[in-house]
Amino acid sequence: MPLSVCRLCLQAFACFQRCGCGASHIGAYIWNLPDAGSRISLLSSAEPMSSRKIIHIDMDAFYASVELREQPHLKGRPVVVAWEGARSVICAASYEARQFGLHSAMSVATAKRLCPQAVYVPPHFDLYRQVSAQIHAVFRRYTDLIEPLSLDEAYLDVTRNFKNIPYASEVAKEIRAAIFAETGLTASAGIAPNKFLAKIASDWRKPNGQFVLPPHKVMAFLETLPLGKIPGVGKVTLKKMQSLGMRTAGDLRRFERGELLNHFGRYGYRLYDLVRGTDERPVKAERERLQISTEITLPEDLPLEQAAGHLPHLAEDLWRQITRKNVEAQSVTLKLKTYDFRIITRTLTYSSVLPDCAALLQAAQMLMARVPPQTEDAFRLIGIGVGHLVPKNQQQDLWA
């Protein structure tokens, strides 16, 4: 009987059937092999270049680590990166600060109660961008398939890399060593067959480590994976999963696609694939942007009012980008992502350019007021962007 090979568990199964592991795709056909053993041997000999090799690089406490590099006398102390103000929220916390329960998106008022001895430093986003550019220069020595997620993390597809290194683990090791040598900062890495698994893996050996998740170990790894480790599963979703008796990805895998759709809406479709280790999303190379934007993924789902606490520092960060690029903007967009991955956007367009950062912040706050408060909604991402860009001092009204 002609056989196929499952790309996830490497088991043999009849062509035009699905593998018993539950994978949602059919692997490469290998015809007329006498038994599964010889087929698996053939597949193994084709490694390490027979499947995608994705690396997720995540800098360790990036903003705080940059500040500690610039102010080495603070090393060993709990350091918090945040603006002044009673309603300010934490941008980043050093590992020493995290031992007291401090984390990004926490209010400064709460942080001061938990750790009165913490040292607070204001963020320096221009410096963070400079360091991020150094890190991306390291990435480009190995691949041009780089998908930035933020200043401090990115996906890399190194299946075919410029140095022809066959093992993604070696690529990750070299990249991490180069980053440390050139910036003095440490990075963690996850290596896996797809983006979903690589992101989970990068958190497994933090800080300053890497974790490899090869295809044949995916199903066993997911069987005991706590649901809270799945990107996108926040407190609200996790609570609902637990009420259904789910504790691990393995538990979730025992539910049919339709059941997950009923319980979690559209996100249920994605969950069905994720807990089977399936994520076909490609690594999207960076493209020239038609607008300028900044956003933050919150470490925990927040209600609308708390998410709005990030607007002042997002506006300051965005205004620095506008100034540096020597452009002016006539539209402002607010972006919110809910716990179940629904995207909410609101846009304001003006007849003239935004004069300053205060006007940008005011526009963002006006847009936030247009979002109807839903008590069941919690938000995992907030961002603002500007469009209708014109070169600074250009004497042309696009809306005349």
pLDDT, tens digit, 9 for 90 and up, residues 195-238? 999 999 999 999 999 999 999 999 999 999 999 999 878 888 89
CA distance 177 to 184: 10
153 is catalytic: yes
58 belongs to an annotated ligand binding site: yes
Side-chain-side CA neighbours of 238 within 13 Å: the count stands at: 14
Greater model confidence, 28 or 390: 390
CA distance 144 to 151: 17
A 10 A CB-CB count for 372 gives 8
Residue 51 pLDDT grade (very low, low, confident, very high; cuts 50, 70, 90):
confident
Contacts of 355 (CB under 8 A, 6+ apart): none
Is residue 16 exposed (0-12), middle (13-18) or buried (19+ Cβ within 10 Å)?
Answer: exposed
Of 297, 301, 311, whose CA–CA distance to 89 is shortest? Answer: 311
In this prediction, residue 306 carries a pLDDT of 87
In this prediction, residue 290 carries a pLDDT of 64
Which tokens is 362 given? 């005011």
Residue 137 pLDDT grade (very low, low, confident, very high; cuts 50, 70, 90):
very high
Long-range contacts at 177-186 (CB < 8 A, ≥ 24 apart): 178/138, 178/141, 179/59, 179/135, 179/138, 182/134, 182/138, 183/69, 183/131, 183/134, 183/135, 184/69, 185/59, 185/60, 185/62, 185/65, 185/66, 185/69, 185/131, 186/59, 186/60, 186/65
Residue 38: pLDDT over 50 = no
Decide: 188 and 209 in contact? Cβ < 8 Å. yes
In this prediction, residue 305 carries a pLDDT of 85
In this prediction, residue 376 carries a pLDDT of 63
Q: Each residue of 73-87: pLDDT tens digit?
A: 999 999 999 987 766
Residue 393 pLDDT grade (very low, low, confident, very high; cuts 50, 70, 90):
low
CA distance 6 to 30: 11
Supply the mean pLDDT for the chain. Answer: 84
Question: Is 204 in a helix, a strand, or coil?
Answer: coil
In this prediction, residue 54 carries a pLDDT of 98
In this prediction, residue 242 carries a pLDDT of 94
State how beta strands 3-5 and 379-387 pair. Answer: unpaired
**Helix/strand/coil percentages in the chain, nearest 5:** 35, 20, 40
Q: Each residue of 274-290: pLDDT tens digit?
A: 999 999 999 988 654 56
Q: Each residue of 57-68: pLDDT tens digit?
A: 999 999 999 999
Residue 28: pLDDT over 50 = no
Of 104, 144, 279, whose CA–CA distance to 198 is shortest? Answer: 279
Of 36, 299, 258, whose CA–CA distance to 153 is shortest? Answer: 299
Alpha-carbon radius of gyration of the chain: 23
Decide: 105 and 310 in contact? Cβ < 8 Å. yes
152 belongs to an annotated ligand binding site: yes
The percentage of residues in the chain with a pLDDT greater than 90, rounded to a whole number, is 58
Q: Each residue of 327-361: pLDDT tens digit?
A: 889 889 999 988 877 889 998 888 778 999 999 99
Tell which phi-psi region holds residue 326, choosing left (phi > 0), alpha (psi between -120 and 50) or beta: left
Which tokens is 341 given? 């991955």
Is residue 194 exposed (0-12), middle (13-18) or buried (19+ Cβ within 10 Å)?
Answer: buried
CA distance 199 to 210: 11
Q: How far is CA 140 from CA 53, 134, 171, 214, in A?
A: 16, 10, 12, 24
Which tokens is 141 given? 């020595």
Residue 141: pLDDT over 90 = yes
Q: Mean pLDDT throughout 1-27?
A: 47
The percentage of residues in the chain with a pLDDT greater than 70, rounded to a whole number, is 83
In this prediction, residue 398 carries a pLDDT of 32
Q: How far is CA 265 from CA 7, 241, 261, in A?
A: 28, 13, 5
pTM: 0.67
CA distance 50 to 44: 9
Question: Is 32 in a helix, a strand, or coil?
Answer: coil
In this prediction, residue 389 carries a pLDDT of 83
Contacts of 34 (CB under 8 A, 6+ apart): none
In this prediction, residue 300 carries a pLDDT of 81
User: What are the structural domains, with CATH classification, of the chain?
Assistant: 3-46 (no CATH), 49-213 (3.30.70.270), 217-287 (1.10.150.20), 292-391 (3.30.1490.100)
Contacts of 324 (CB under 8 A, 6+ apart): 126
Kindly name the residue from 67, 96, 147, 153 that is annotated as catalytic: 153
Length of the chain: 400
Residue 252: pLDDT over 60 = yes
Least confident interval from 43-47, 133-137, 175-179: 43-47
